[in-house]
């Protein structure tokens, strides 16, 4: 069954859109400020914020007078070129800020790229027939929409568009839609899919440069862009450079398994998020697929944080150099803790 015909679990009535909370507003605000032209000053204010504050100060009747860091005050602090969480916030707010701050710290000179997959206990992101609606529950869907709202661009592979016809918008949260980026190296997709027709967000189709004509081509409402490719594999570093040159520096790679795996294999993910659902599919579509290793000691064992997300558990892995966790046996002091 497709996404059009099956209602999304926990949809609109519970949407945050109707009641955005201060912490979420602070995150949206922080992401916007960090990417502002000219960077931020020591107090986390952009040039535009300072200009607005001066204007408001000279106009005592201004209703919307706002100091540069009002939204973030107490919740977030700007230090050493990045946002950090304030120390005295309630646990649930602290978890929200901790999870999303890495995206808020993407800057014009420093892209942040995060991959996500929702998978079953036995490691599959869809059934063998390609049904992935819905592997994870409403809390993880809300998380996806939050990630989209804090990102400049959302990347998916052609397989996900062909199989799911997703919208890739931020329907469940208050926040902007990211630019939708579809990887279709050989241009196998036609214009029938919603991302190419609904006009809800700017959409780019990324293909092997040999399949792009002169840079003015379109697919429905989407623009077709060519990047270099080798044996059908797109040069993902070139893609990220292209996006960064357009100011798209917070990049969310939402699937499917092949697409996230290629970013991972190329060493281009800053973080990898895997949401594990209490679901067993038997055979299915694989999540992460990488060349195998002979020894466990050679396998990737990244530093990670664990978030309870409704019935699912999210592993949020830090893939940056040096951020590798010691094997669990070295941390036996903290072995057993119930999180749900
Ligand atoms: N549970 C989840 O989190 C989740 C998320 C998204 C999707 N899904 C499910 O996953 C399935 C689709 O996943 P999938 O792994 O089969 O496909 P996919 O990752 O959506 O798309 C893979 C295709 O995208 C193109 N592609 C991606 N990266 C590329 C690169 N670096 N260079 C060249 N081409 C690239 C290739 O197209 P060509 O084949 O044309 O070369 C590739 O075959 C669907 O069943 C969908 O429902 C699950």
Residue with tokens 């081509």: 217
Determine the distance separating the centroid of ligand 1 and the alpha carbon of 257, expressed in angstroms. 6
- Ligand 1 probe mutation, 127, 258, 272, 286, most atoms within 8 A of CB: 258
| CA atoms of 248 and 112, how far apart (whole Å) | 10
In short, whether 201's Cβ falls inside 6 Å of ligand 1 is: no
Lowest-pLDDT choice from 158-162, 278-282, 317-321:
317-321
Give the C-alpha distances (Å, rounded to integers) separating 298 from 59, 269, 318: 63, 19, 17
Write down the pLDDT at residue 10: 60
Strand 76-79 to 82-85 pairing: antiparallel
Determine the distance separating the centroid of ligand 1 and the alpha carbon of 9, expressed in angstroms. 23
Write down the pLDDT at residue 337: 83
- pLDDT tens readout for residues 3-58: 444 566 665 444 554 556 999 999 999 999 999 866 666 666 766 666 665 555 55
Q: Which of 182, 176, 172, 177 is nearest to 239 (CA)?
A: 182
In the structure, what pLDDT confidence band is assigned to residue 330 with cuts at 50, 70 and 90?
Answer: low
In short, whether 143's Cβ falls inside 6 Å of ligand 1 is: no
Position in ligand 1 atom list of the atom nearest CA 136: 1
Write down the pLDDT at residue 219: 97
- Ligand 1 probe mutation, 134, 137, 143, 183, most atoms within 8 A of CB: 183
Determine the distance separating the centroid of ligand 1 and the alpha carbon of 254, expressed in angstroms. 10
In short, whether 258's Cβ falls inside 6 Å of ligand 1 is: yes
Provide the 10 A C-beta neighbour count for residue 228: 13
Determine the distance separating the centroid of ligand 1 and the alpha carbon of 178, expressed in angstroms. 19
In short, whether 234's Cβ falls inside 6 Å of ligand 1 is: yes
Determine the distance separating the centroid of ligand 1 and the alpha carbon of 50, expressed in angstroms. 44
Q: Is 2's pLDDT higher than 80?
A: no
178 CB-contact burial (10 Å; exposed 0-12 / middle 13-18 / buried 19+): buried
> Quick one: what percent of the chain has pLDDT higher than 90?
72
In the structure, what pLDDT confidence band is assigned to residue 328 with cuts at 50, 70 and 90?
Answer: low
Q: Is 1's pLDDT higher than 90?
A: no
Q: Is 203's pLDDT higher than 50?
A: yes
| CA atoms of 40 and 61, how far apart (whole Å) | 27
Provide the 10 A C-beta neighbour count for residue 166: 22
Residue nearest atom 41 of ligand 1, based on CA coordinates: 185
Write down the pLDDT at residue 6: 59
Read off the pTM.
0.90
Helix axes 22-34, 91-104, angle to 10 degrees: 20
In short, whether 183's Cβ falls inside 6 Å of ligand 1 is: yes
Q: Which of 194, 49, 39 is nearest to 57 (CA)?
A: 49
In short, whether 264's Cβ falls inside 6 Å of ligand 1 is: no
- DSSP secondary structure, 254-313, as one string: EE-HHHHHHHHHTT--SEEEEEE-S---SSEEES------SSGGGS--BEEEEEEETTEE
- pLDDT tens readout for residues 131-190: 999 999 999 999 999 999 999 999 999 999 999 999 999 999 999 999 999 999 999 999
- DSSP secondary structure, 99-163, as one string: HHHHHHT-BTTB-EEEEEEEE-TTSEEEETT---TTSS-HHHHHHHHHHHHH-SEEEEEHHHHHH
pLDDT mean over 117-142: 97
């Amino acid at each position: 069954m497709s996404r059009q015909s099956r209602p999304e679990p926990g949809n609109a009535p519970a949407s945050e859109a109707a009641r955005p909370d201060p912490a979420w507003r602070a995150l949206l605000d922080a992401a916007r400020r960090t990417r502002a032209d000219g960077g931020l000053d020591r107090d986390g204010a952009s040039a535009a914020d300072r200009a607005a504050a001066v204007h408001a100060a000279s106009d005592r009747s201004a209703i919307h007078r706002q100091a540069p860091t009002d939204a973030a005050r107490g919740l977030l602090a700007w230090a050493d070129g990045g946002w950090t969480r304030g120390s005295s916030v309630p646990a649930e707010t602290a978890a929200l800020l901790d999870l999303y701050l890495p995206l808020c710290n993407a800057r014009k000179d420093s892209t942040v790229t995060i991959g996500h997959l929702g998978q079953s206990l036995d490691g599959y992101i869809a059934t063998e027939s390609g049904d992935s609606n819905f592997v994870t529950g409403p809390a993880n869907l809300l998380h996806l929409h939050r990630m989209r709202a804090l990102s400049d661009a959302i990347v998916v592979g052609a397989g996900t568009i062909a199989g799911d016809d997703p919208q890739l918008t931020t329907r469940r949260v208050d926040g902007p839609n990211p630019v939708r980026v579809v990887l279709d190296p050989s241009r196998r997709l036609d214009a029938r899919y919603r991302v190419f027709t609904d006009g809800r967000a700017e959409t780019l189709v990324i293909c092997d440069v040999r399949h792009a004509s002169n840079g003015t081509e379109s697919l429905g409402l989407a623009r077709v862009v060519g990047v270099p490719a080798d044996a059908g594999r797109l040069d993902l570093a070139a893609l990220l450079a292209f996006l960064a040159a357009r100011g798209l520096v917070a990049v969310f790679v939402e699937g499917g398994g092949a697409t996230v795996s290629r970013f991972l294999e190329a060493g281009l993910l800053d973080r990898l998020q895997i949401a594990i659902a209490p679901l067993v599919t038997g055979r299915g579509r694989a999540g992460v697929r990488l060349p195998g290793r002979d020894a466990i000691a050679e396998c990737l064992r990244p530093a990670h944080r664990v978030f309870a997300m409704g019935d699912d558990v999210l592993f949020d892995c830090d893939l940056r150099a040096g951020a590798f966790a010691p094997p669990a046996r070295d941390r036996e002091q903290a072995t057993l803790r119930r999180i749900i």
